[in-house]
Structure 1
Amino acid sequence: MILLSLQSMKLMKLVPNAVRMSSTLSRDSNFFFRQLFDSVSSTYTYILGDLNSKEAVLIDPVIEHAERDANIIKELNFKLLYAMNTHMHADHVTGTGRLKSLLPGCKSVIGKASGAQADIHLVDGEEVTFGSHKLLTVATPGHTNGCLTYICHGQSLAFTGDTLLIRGCGRTDFQEGCSETLYNSVHQKIFTLPNHYTLYPAHDYKGVTATTVGEEKKYNPRLTKSLKEFIQIMDNLNLPYPKMIDKAIPANKVCGLY
């Protein structure tokens, strides 16, 4: 992991919508990883690439940053194969449709159970390939019906969307939310991964960039509880109505091009 300099950290605090990113050439030096950030919705966007084939995928883009993402991909000489969503978001409009126009040949991807339009609809167990790397699609509903977790076993990491956040989880009080379903998704599909696997969520509201399976199994204040206790917690969050939901969901049903 490349650590940010003190000057870079100061810059991120000063610049609105600053690109918060980290790059790794993990155990496989052919694997490219970059984490980007939208400060309005606290959304993380991820670029994954194969440095030999120059094929790449992008996970959870935000429409306001589509040009930013496209420019990075062009500058790094990647070919974007897929602009992917972990689920149909309620807090921002996806950038997948816009990216298709900025990067011809790119295809939009979302879970079939989401009910949203896309070029490719994934179901549990399918794989997305870019160069020599693969993402395994695992259905993890509960926040929404169409929530997916993308697991890269080759790099010991996973992208959990809103199903599992860092020391938290996605809400279950709107769309097709179900607390019991979410709890089972996490315990059966994510917590069964090896403890050292790094987890990257779709959002974080405290500036934390990643976590691990082992950390969340030990420290997550909601998902370390029993199912009954978890449902009680989720039923009593008393959170405000999502301010973007009435715009985001209709837009995201049509690939962000509403």
Structure 2
Amino acid sequence: MYAVAAAAARRMGAGAVAGDLAAAVVPAAARDAVLGWDGSGAPGTSSSSAAAAAARRASKTATTDGKKRKKGKGGAWGTAGAAEMEEYIASGGLIDQRGGVAGGGFAAATAATRAAALECLEAVLTSAGAALKPSVRTLADAAAAEAACAAVATATAPPSSPAFLEASTPAQLAVRSAAYDALLASVLAPRPFRPTNLALASALFRRARTFDPALARVAGRAMLCLEAVVHPAAPPLHPRAIAPPRELLYGGGGGGGGDDDG
């Protein structure tokens, strides 16, 4: 279903995608992108309580006392800098704390579902991110952020953990690649205000470029894209990066070899 929805989103106009298609697909895709196979978690875990806890975290942006949290000028993450975001990620961030998934066929099915759901979210955000209803867009952004946090946590897991062994499997590589693409689309798709996931994405892609060798190139390109958002009017890094005037290239004339015609 997600593959069909993603293909349709890439071929339809923004208005068509932002309507019934997004309303029907994004809620389920956001759940499966984070929780995996039908949002049920691994066998033997308390799936109902885990899903309920994840839903509560995703459905409200509130402090522990239940009061609605104010958003700063920087979006959902306020004016957090690199140091604050690194500390946030190191502490676990948005990651669902249910523990690792079971191995074998169930893990493969879960990974395939998450990858397909993330690809669907990326397609919807790319095609119609600016036209989505605020509630649908916020849900897609939140799912992309949480899935990317989990992906980076898997890539940077200690060698003694089960997640370290799973990180190099083709299924997990596909999930991480789809999560990075969805997070980048979440940041680059226009919104009326500063992208809510910008600070988080900068920290995640920086860490992925260093500690996720299999997808370091993907993370590096994502950081390059984010640079244009963070510093839209920044000068080139070096004066030689500026293209020289045509007269220096062609010897003073407007075209090639202008001095040879006299």
Same fold (TM over 0.5): no
Q: TM-score, normalised by structure 2?
A: 0.26
User: Between Structure 1 and Structure 2, which shows a larger proportion of strand residues?
Assistant: 1
Which is greater in Rg?
A: 2
User: Between Structure 1 and Structure 2, which shows a larger proportion of helix residues?
Assistant: 2
Q: TM-score, normalised by structure 1?
A: 0.27
Q: Which has the higher contact order (CA 8 A, sep 6+)?
A: 2
